[in-house]
Amino acid sequence: MQEYLAGVGRRIAVRFVVGVFVLVGGLIWHSAQGSDPRGDGTGSADGKPVLCRPVKEGEPAGYPAMCAALNRPDLAELVGAPGEHVVSAGVGSYTRWDVGAAQVQVGKVNAAVSESRTVPYDLMLDSARVSAREVAPVAGRPAVAYAEQLHWVTLDLGTGGSGSGPGAAPAPTRDPGTAYHLVVARNADGSGGSLEVSLWREDGGLTDGDLLPALAEKLMADLDGWNAPPLPTEPGQPTRAPRPSPSPTGFRPFSGDR
């Protein structure tokens, strides 16, 4: 099992939670599906809260429970967007190792959660592509936080008209912002897979990554297998003791210094 997990770790790339953002033509696509027919961020046309869309064939079986836990009445306050409304709620991005995944957008803030029974909580400490650090335990479980620069993709849609075609000025560039992630082990000894909670903004604005531990604890309270004291080591699962991060960057999660 340990050799298998090491192989999984080598094959998994950094999770792209932000989908693809298209600047040309003013089109934006993101991975959370929901409804905002009024287009003003207030949710459904009749003023009712946006509901998690139904699960589709092939999507993680744990999605409905995770989306229900994430799409909570107090989410706006938990993600630092008080007074904002849910714009969309859906499955979000996921890998074939995830047993559940969900993503909810509140105003311009996106929150995502996913669970894997095999991916180690400290996998990102081995990646030179992100800034990762071991952080204080969350609900008695070891955890790792990492930061990921968002990426904007500019496409030439070939539609002609103002601002497109040969010789047209390139789309303006701007800081795309940063996504912050917190990965928590299922068990107190670091084994049993992981739960990942993420926050980022669609407008490239500042996201408060310090909110992630409290958001993770709220979600755990509503998720089966996480809403109880940490489980003992599961048979066949390796023990992964907390270890210092080799990250050479100055990233200091949950310190207010970014």
pLDDT tens sequence across 87-143 = 999 998 999 999 999 999 999 999 999 999 999 999 998 888 888 999 999 999 999
The residue type found at 33 is Q
The answer for residues whose C-beta is within 8 angstroms of residue 253's C-beta and 6 or more apart is 133, 135, 145, 146, 147, 180, 182, 209, 210
Note the pTM of the prediction, 2 decimals: 0.74
With respect to residue 108, please indicate whether it lies within any of the assigned structural domains.
yes
If one compares 20 and 243, the residue with the highest pLDDT of the two is 243
Q: Return the structure tokens found at 110.
A: 């996106």
With respect to residue 237, please indicate whether it lies within any of the assigned structural domains.
no
The residue type found at 106 is V
pLDDT in tens, 147-173: 988 876 545 545 444 444 445 455 545
For residue 184, give the H/E element and its range: strand 178-185
With respect to residue 34, please indicate whether it lies within any of the assigned structural domains.
yes
With respect to residue 256, please indicate whether it lies within any of the assigned structural domains.
no
With respect to residue 233, please indicate whether it lies within any of the assigned structural domains.
no
The answer for residues whose C-beta is within 8 angstroms of residue 111's C-beta and 6 or more apart is 70, 75, 78, 79, 103, 104, 105, 197, 198, 199, 215
With respect to residue 91, please indicate whether it lies within any of the assigned structural domains.
yes
Instruction: State residue 92's pLDDT score.
Output: 87
Decide: 224 and 211 in contact? Cβ < 8 Å: no
Q: Report how many domains make up the chain.
A: 1
Domain ranges, residue 43: 2-156+173-220
For the cut 70, the answer to whether the pLDDT of residue 144 exceeds it is yes
- The DSSP 8-state label assigned to residue 173 in this structure reads P
Q: Is 123 exposed, middle or buried (0-12, 13-18, 19+ CB in 10 A)?
A: buried
With respect to residue 101, please indicate whether it lies within any of the assigned structural domains.
yes
Instruction: State residue 4's pLDDT score.
Output: 35
With respect to residue 228, please indicate whether it lies within any of the assigned structural domains.
no
Decide: 156 and 24 in contact? Cβ < 8 Å: yes
Decide: 133 and 251 in contact? Cβ < 8 Å: yes
pLDDT in tens, 197-245: 999 998 878 889 999 999 999 999 999 989 988 866 556 655 555 555 4
Beta strands in 12-168 (DSSP E): 86-90, 98-106, 109-116, 131-138, 141-149
